[in-house]
Chains A and B, each alone.
Chain A
Amino acid sequence: MDLKHLKFTKEHEWVRVDGDEATIGITDFAAGELGDIVYVELPKVGASVTAMQSMGTIEAVKTVADLFAPVTGVVTAINASLEQGPDLVNKDPFGDGWFVRVKVSNRKELDALMDHAAYQRMIGK
């Protein structure tokens, strides 16, 4: 996947926009920092989420982290594979390890997110 087309939050979520739908995951950097992920708690399909508020939980062996909603909207899909295979997030964070899809209610919020270069700078790469 070409990461240059993704948007990023300062909480290390990535966002891929297709039309008015946003696919959301966490970056390889975040997955590496968390270590082995053993359980993810996701919002339900149909749930409303609000930009930069927690919409789920990521439990790793060593620590726990919130999953933040990069944008406001309604959840249209969740990655059911993570129920049995949460390690997909470690193995393929930008692909099969995606978390949720959200129908974006305010596209302007996307402009507030970082591009790939800005995110790389933030993590010191």
Chain B
Amino acid sequence: MLKRTPLYDAHLAAGGKMVPFAGYEMPVSYAGGIEEHNAVRERVGLFDVSHMGEFIVSGPDTWRYLDHVVTNDCSRLPADGVLYTTMCHENGGVVDDLLVTKLADDRALVVVNASNIDKDFSHMKWAASNLSRSRVELHNASDEWALIAVQGPLALEAIKGTPMLAPVRDEIDGLSYYRWRSFESPGGRVLISRTGYTGEKGVEIFVPPARAADLWMELLAAGKPYGAVPAGLGARDTLRFEAALCLYGHELDDETSPLEAGLSWLVKLDKPEFVGRAALEKQKQKGIKRKLVGLELDGRNIARQGYAVMRGDAMVGKVTSGTHAPTLKKGLCMAYVDADSIDADLTVQVRAHTVPVKRVPLPFYKSRARD
């Protein structure tokens, strides 16, 4: 049985085309994916991402514990900070990529991929049991929050007229990238964070499920003068793809290390200890065997996940994500390629066609105004 977010009815009313995704019925598009993609690049789009998982970590050892379970360094987090990080297995493979929000010295909000909620929670419980005498509690709060992302160059302007967000209206302009604010509202706490998954400026708003539909309608109304439109999973995927943001199940999985994925900036080997540290340190010393690269395809060809990357007759890699990039208007893909072949002449096997590709820097697209 598929779950529905609190915004299900609002999606149907807006003409959302619903598809199963990570156990939820989610809107893949409303007016059309490319139109929604362009709205986010040029103006502003609203996304329902209530399917994402939220965990609350609490207790005196919250931060000692989190620094044990994630690869990035939580001790550097300011009091209103958010941290993007990976969480690894002992073998260095990625359990998930996630956001850690510092709510207090003894409390954190952890946001994980919807498809990984159960796996992540088990892994985090296991990691807690590893840590001797740790005073930490884990709570799966995924059903206690709805989550709305407002993304695009006009996102901050567009949300200011929202009555529900009035308590933080004057703080929105001063809110830096990867910082958050929260306030008590009738129905529960609302948390707004300067984060997102589109490569554009924007916020993600955590709201109690009972208030979610009201907030959504208010955001649409306040955003209307700015050209705000609801945007679905389709646009979310092409936006994150152009910005070369990793998607679990594509660029990341249990067998792939963050070092291979170009996420070495999330791996703080100067931390004395964390799950996966030994394997990652060894991998770094021996040299990374395959790397995530960006490729541009010749002609009007589109590479898809799983297509082979060839060097002559030898397969030297595999495509992780690919599409016709709506903003850049070319066929692009990300692929894992053997490290000794990344600068060679490569082709991608698009069904019966052997298509020449050229390596291009990641990200494919960088917003002028994200931060």
Contacts and interface: CB of A to CB of B under 8 A. Distances in A.
B142 to A, nearest CB: 26
A35 B324 contact: no
Interface string A9-35: 000000000000000000000001001
A39 to B, nearest CB: 5
Interface stretch (B26-34, B150-158, B355-363): B26-34
Contact of B323 (A61, A87, A90): A61
Contacts of B28: 35, 62
A38 interface: yes
A78 B306 CA distance: 31
A32 B63 CA distance: 47
Interface string A37-60: 011000000000000000001010
Given A32-B17, A35-B28, A35-B234, A62 B33 contact: yes
A36 B32 contact: yes
Question: What band does the interface of chain B fall in when counting residues whose beta carbon is under 8 Å from A?
Answer: 10 to 19
Contacts of B33: 35-36, 61-62
A64 interface: yes
A90 B32 contact: yes
Interface string A58-96: 010111100000000000000000000001001000000
Interface in B1-53: 17, 28-29, 32-34
A61 B326 contact: yes
Interface residues of A, number: 13
Main secondary structure of the interface of B (DSSP, over half): mixed
B324 A59 contact: yes
B368 interface: no
B237 interface: yes
Contacts of B300: 39, 59
B359 to A, nearest CB: 22
B302 A36 contact: no
A38 B322 CA distance: 13
B286 interface: no
Contacts of A63: 304
Most B CB atoms within 10 A — which of A32, A36, A57? A36
A13 to B, nearest CB: 19
15 contacts: A35-B28, A35-B32, A36-B32, A36-B33, A36-B34, A36-B234, A36-B326, A38-B302, A38-B324, A59-B300, A61-B324, A63-B304, A64-B302, A64-B351, A87-B34
Interface of A: 32, 35-36, 38-39, 57, 59, 61-64, 87, 90
